[in-house]
Amino acid sequence: MADLTATRNSGSGHDLFRVTYRLHCPATVAAALAEDIALEQSVEVPSHLISDEIIRRDFMGRVTGIVSTTEEIHLASIEYPAHLASGNLSQTLNLLFGNVSLKPGIQLIDIEFPESFLSEFSGPKLGISGLRAACNVWGRPLLATAIKPKGSSISELARIAGQFAEGGGDLVKDDHNLVDRHLADFQLRVEACQTAVSQHAKASKACLYFPNLSGTLHDLERQAAFCVELGIKGVLVAPMIAGLETIRHLADSFPLAILAHPTMSGSFLQSGQGISHALWLSTFMRLCGCDGTVFPNSGGRFTFTKEECLSIAAAARQPLGRLKDCFPAPAGGMSFHSLEGMAADYGPETIFLVGGGLLGYSNDLVESTGAFRTRIEELFPNSSPAVAAGMNGRASHVSACEIPVAASGSLGRISAISPLVATSSTESFEARILKFLPQFRWEGREVTVYKQATGLPFAHVDRMELIGKFGESTAFDIRYFEIAPGGHSSREKHFHTHVIIPIRGVGQLECQGATMVLETMDIAYVPPLAVHQLTNVSREPFGFLCIVDHDRDTPMAP
Amino acid sequence: MADLTATRNSGSGHDLFRVTYRLHCPATVAAALAEDIALEQSVEVPSHLISDEIIRRDFMGRVTGIVSTTEEIHLASIEYPAHLASGNLSQTLNLLFGNVSLKPGIQLIDIEFPESFLSEFSGPKLGISGLRAACNVWGRPLLATAIKPKGSSISELARIAGQFAEGGGDLVKDDHNLVDRHLADFQLRVEACQTAVSQHAKASKACLYFPNLSGTLHDLERQAAFCVELGIKGVLVAPMIAGLETIRHLADSFPLAILAHPTMSGSFLQSGQGISHALWLSTFMRLCGCDGTVFPNSGGRFTFTKEECLSIAAAARQPLGRLKDCFPAPAGGMSFHSLEGMAADYGPETIFLVGGGLLGYSNDLVESTGAFRTRIEELFPNSSPAVAAGMNGRASHVSACEIPVAASGSLGRISAISPLVATSSTESFEARILKFLPQFRWEGREVTVYKQATGLPFAHVDRMELIGKFGESTAFDIRYFEIAPGGHSSREKHFHTHVIIPIRGVGQLECQGATMVLETMDIAYVPPLAVHQLTNVSREPFGFLCIVDHDRDTPMAP
């Protein structure tokens, strides 16, 4: 065992998760339980059944120490090779806590992430200073509220949002249960609230409105796209319901700040098992790209202790690789009179999310908001306008217009759409016309050699990419192929479909065993997995437009 | 309050969730805690702040009773209007347990769903009898195993899968931590294992191989599409990590059986809070479309009691609206000698998921599998071949080829691709050619009136849908528009993009403030949110192909 340890530590010391679990069990079984965890979470078979030395060395968890703090509480240190997480949060959770969640008395309380792992995550796009710049608020906590209750009319919700903005509030979010069955309803509500907030925000500073997104990734993308279109700067999401990797993908794909709601997080935070408050509500939220994390404030209607709340706030702000920090957003349990204590507890780098406290202060929401804002400014004298201007200048390099758009998969294409966003993909925002030229050529486009990674045989085929490979935001590509007399495309099949529109000469399509003649402006559809081939049996060139899905599989041999 | 109750119950008795929470608290606070839950989960504001009677009646949870079973344990009955769940599982969880998860001592133990809610869910596609038909196994539990450990070579994993099939096993799944970083690696592994299983399965009955899918919905879709292409019949997923609504969408979109793994479910199952085993691991799994649910067997290396295990099995099989049943799949803790007890406990409608027990029985996996299978057949004499044939006849109407494909959103289109699947959308599998006819018409396609829900003005425009609206599996639509002399399209903008290819006459495109002439075979790209309009200023018809994303937003006024 000593040899293996030496090999791994010397060769790949940066590529381990160093994880601490708190075990609640009698001292006599702590070592065995720690060993169980290390195996259960990695290879999931008893150690004696692992004969392969490479698996033992590179795929198995390993207990590196156990420290007992009381007779019943023990801290077990376990290392896992970081590659077991496959660079995604779904598998990270599966690895570090998946099956262990099913065993009582085990708490995941600390993770030392290797840089190689953290560098794969974009993290929060704005972080604390970026969100400050978007509001133009410096040196004091942001004042935030939620619009509710569900069941209120759109105009009533918009009125609340507008009055909060008018009173000088900084950020108003949807209640997390404002979920619409249809996208159209979401659009109506969000547009009304955004309009109200924009109209009433002060000239000197913005009030941001964060709508609540819900559903599958497809739903979230459609909702997010609409928000971007409206100029909205951020959204509320529920990572524990949507899935952390889903939120990470959303954060990476859209120029939107992300505020995390803790709904469904609580069972992981019950005493004696689960995941520590700091890891679950801050560290994992930063990994999935959240710029702010909402949690129930101590003294409110939930039971988090002040110590637990402060641990969340600390983890939201502390270094985590190159990831930006994240605003802790304690919610609930705040009244006008408790602002002073909150200020002392949490300091300026905080979002004060106030609901009932505002409503209870007076019957006039504009007035209540103004009173809370003024009180917060008194408690943080450095937030005076003069200082704020200076702060703003300092932070000008992180203005809200600079929300970076991460490179990503299919949605990366849609992500590059906001005219508010500075991105290298500005090409996709330009109208363009490819003028048709003699000899079936187009301005600005060149013939490329037709070839395929598959190695399938073909003959005398020219190919020209027209649309889809030049930054356009299309779900499809348009290409022009030209087959010389006697030539043919490769005989192949694939999951994606083709639409073929001949524009020059006459050709022949073999598809699903049948052979058909194709003439100019015919439109041919080749279905999924149909074996097909195009041939030119004429004496003239045969040219056709071919339209395919942008995201598609690789052709296979028949 | 009496009036409101009467109104709601008489008018919409079927549209309520009737929910039972088990409260662990002193009797003196039980009523207040129940009231808290009802408000927290619905309107999330104190009752006295709700002045709107419609909100009180139609949006607020309502405590209907509290029964104390001991001094410290109380069953609270709460009703919520079912529309608050918005017909999706994300919001259902949010509504029934979201914020409550953050409070200790509260367990969600029973939900009576209204038919109107259940009818929105497709549930398991195969259910118990459908999965039996796919294996051709009747009257006895299915014998299943998992391939592992992670770190094994592909050929080693394929060897395990193949030997299990050769020995007469029914279902072999990936270990839940077999997660690949790249789709190509997933494809290599899955293809190797599927090939091994297919080669070694007996002529008389199939052995099914279920690969593990992981990641975002986009990842799951790509992995699932590959599985369908290979002829694979089902997959393993982790609903608590991926998100329940994500799994529901996957289940609805692909002709694949779904087996649920319980990773990350455990913190909800720890004593004194959370969600009951039966609801969490069976009812919610059926709602998201799972045909089987894996859970740790009592007596294994986890701590579920036999009672808890049997409650999961019962909930998997009991009526739930029109949803199909779901195989309970107890895992672990099984040896050759414990099969008899397992058989007595669980009965035939079960998947016995055996890992270490098989490996520990002998050094020859083929032999071990055969021994387990024979022993199971002995314990269930009705599973003899003769009877099995009769059972098979009886169940012929639920053969594996009948996996229904639910109507769904964007991926519903891709879902209709497997040639193995009988579906009403077979149209998408047929090659077709729309012959070009005189006067710019196409065979089988008709001119429709150009109109828009938006009410934006236009003049003299004909429209013909060519591709995309007739069951084709394309990510795009192709239309032909023709504008008569003097006519114009509506001036509009939208998030989606256009590609315009004139094929008749000459037209004019105004886009982003510039005006450009369009001639035959030019290719124009209109970017996102660009205000644009097409006009015919000539004396001849101006006709063009317009290619757009199939899933797209509604045009807006400039």
Q: In sequence order, what DSSP letters do the residues of A103-128 get, joined into one string?
A: STTEEEEEEE--HHHHTT----SSHH
Q: Does A510 touch chain B (CB under 8 A)?
A: no
Q: Specify the DSSP element, H or E, that contains B227.
A: helix B217-230
Q: Tell me which architecture the domain covering B127-415 has in CATH.
A: Alpha-Beta Barrel (3.20)
pLDDT of residue B389: 39
SS3 label, residue B403: coil
Encoding tokens for residue A8? 């791994």
Do the beta carbons of residue A331 and residue A129 sit within 8 Å?
no
Closest-CA residue of A relative to B218 is A217
Do the beta carbons of residue B379 and residue B171 sit within 8 Å?
no
Question: Nearest CA to A327 among A110, A130, A122?
Answer: A130
Would you give the distance in Å from CA B317 to the centre of its chain? 19
Cα–Cα distance, A188 to A184 (Å, whole number): 6
CB contact under 8 A, A553 and B225: yes
pLDDT truncated to tens, each residue of chain A (558 aa)? 333 333 333 334 459 999 999 999 999 999 999 999 999 999 888 888 888 888 999 999 999 999 999 999 999 999 999 999 999 999 999 999 999 999 999 999 999 999 999 999 999 999 999 999 999 899 999 999 999 889 999 999 999 999 999 999 999 999 999 999 899 999 999 999 999 999 987 766 789 999 999 999 999 999 999 999 999 999 999 999 999 999 999 999 999 999 999 999 999 999 889 999 999 999 999 999 999 999 999 988 888 999 999 999 999 999 999 999 999 999 987 899 999 999 999 999 999 999 888 988 999 999 999 999 999 999 998 774 434 433 333 333 333 333 333 333 322 222 222 222 223 334 456 778 888 888 898 988 888 766 655 677 888 888 898 998 887 878 899 999 999 998 999 888 887 888 999 999 999 999 888 888 898 899 999 888 888 999 998 888 999 999 998 877 777 788
| Number of alpha carbons in the 13 Å side-chain half-sphere of residue A344 | 5
Tell which A residues from 290 to 349 touch B, by Cβ distance under 8 Å. Answer: 296, 301-304
| Facing residue for A495 by CB, picked from B217, B417, B529 | B417
**pLDDT tens-digit series, residues B243-293:** 999 999 999 999 999 999 999 999 999 988 999 999 999 999 999 999 999
Q: Is the pLDDT of residue B402 over 50?
A: no
Domain range summary for chain B, segments of one domain joined by +: 2-118, 127-415, 436-549
CA distance B186 to chain A (A): 12
Tell which A residues from 183 to 242 touch B, by Cβ distance under 8 Å. Answer: 214-218, 225-226, 229, 238, 241-242
Closest-CA residue of A relative to B58 is A151
Closest-CA residue of A relative to B250 is A216
Q: Is the pLDDT of residue B423 over 70?
A: no
**pLDDT tens-digit series, residues B121-134:** 999 999 999 999 99
Q: At what angle do helices B306-317 and B339-346 cross, to 10 degrees?
A: 50
DSSP assignment letter at B556: B
What value of ipTM does the predicted structure carry?
Answer: 0.71
| Facing residue for A497 by CB, picked from B55, B472, B511 | B472
φ/ψ of B278, rounded to 5, equals -65, -45
CA distance B341 to chain A (A): 23
CA distance B180 to chain A (A): 6
Do the beta carbons of residue A400 and residue B489 sit within 8 Å?
no
CB contact under 8 A, A271 and B50: no
Number of A:B CB contacts under 8 A?
A: 416
Q: Tell me which architecture the domain covering B436-549 has in CATH.
A: Sandwich (2.60)
| Number of alpha carbons in the 13 Å side-chain half-sphere of residue A355 | 24
CA end-to-end span of chain B = 50
CB contact under 8 A, B273 and A267: yes
- Other C-beta atoms closer than 10 Å to the C-beta of B414 total 24
- Other C-beta atoms closer than 10 Å to the C-beta of A196 total 26
pLDDT of residue A9: 38
φ/ψ of A92, rounded to 5, equals -60, -45
Strands (E), B286-429: 292-296, 327-331, 351-353
Cα–Cα distance, B152 to A44 (Å, whole number): 13
Do the beta carbons of residue B539 and residue B515 sit within 8 Å?
no
Chain A residues with CB-CB distance to B54 below 8 A: 151
φ/ψ of A37, rounded to 5, equals -60, -50
Q: Does B264 touch chain A (CB under 8 A)?
A: yes
φ/ψ of B317, rounded to 5, equals -105, -15
CA distance A319 to chain B (A): 26
pLDDT of residue B494: 81
Q: Does A431 touch chain B (CB under 8 A)?
A: yes
Q: Does A375 touch chain B (CB under 8 A)?
A: no
Do the beta carbons of residue A213 and residue A224 sit within 8 Å?
yes
Cis peptide before A104 (omega within 30 of 0): no
Q: Can you give the length of chain B in residues?
A: 558
CB contact under 8 A, B176 and A94: yes
Strands (E), B10-81: 16-24, 62-68, 73-81
Cα–Cα distance, A414 to B395 (Å, whole number): 47
CB contact under 8 A, B102 and A229: no
Question: What percentage of chain B has pLDDT greater than the value 70?
Answer: 88
CATH fold, domain B2-118, is Alpha-Beta Plaits (3.30.70)
φ/ψ of B551, rounded to 5, equals -90, 115
Q: Does B506 touch chain A (CB under 8 A)?
A: no
Question: Nearest CA to A294 among A335, A361, A252, A355?
Answer: A355
φ/ψ of A40, rounded to 5, equals -55, -40
- Measure Cα distances from B40 to A211, A281, B18, B301, B525 in Å: 20, 20, 16, 37, 50
Chain A residues with CB-CB distance to B242 below 8 A: 90, 243, 245-246
User: For residue B371, what are the β-bridge partners?
Assistant: none
Query: In the predicted model, what is the mean pLDDT of residues B164-178?
Result: 96
* Site from A433, A482, A492 to mutate, B interface, most B CB atoms within 10 angstroms: A433
Q: Specify the DSSP element, H or E, that contains B379.
A: helix B365-379
| Facing residue for A43 by CB, picked from B94, B151, B523 | B151
Tell which B residues from 452 to 471 touch A, by Cβ distance under 8 Å. Answer: 466-467
Cis peptide before A149 (omega within 30 of 0): yes
Encoding tokens for residue B386? 């003769």
Would you give the distance in Å from CA B497 to the centre of its chain? 30
Q: Does B178 touch chain A (CB under 8 A)?
A: no
CA distance B303 to chain A (A): 7
φ/ψ of A543, rounded to 5, equals -120, 145
Would you give the distance in Å from CA B264 to the centre of its chain? 18
> Considering Cα of A177, then A180, then A183, then A186, what sign does the dihedral take?
negative
pLDDT of residue B429: 62
Do the beta carbons of residue A169 and residue A144 sit within 8 Å?
yes
Cα–Cα distance, A245 to B240 (Å, whole number): 12
Do the beta carbons of residue B139 and residue B380 sit within 8 Å?
yes
**B127-415 against B436-549: fold identical:** no
Do the beta carbons of residue B165 and residue B158 sit within 8 Å?
no
Neighbouring residues of A439: CB distance < 8 A, sequence distance ≥ 6: none
CB contact under 8 A, B436 and A55: no
Tell which A residues from 132 to 171 touch B, by Cβ distance under 8 Å. Answer: 148-152
Q: Is the pLDDT of residue B63 over 60?
A: yes
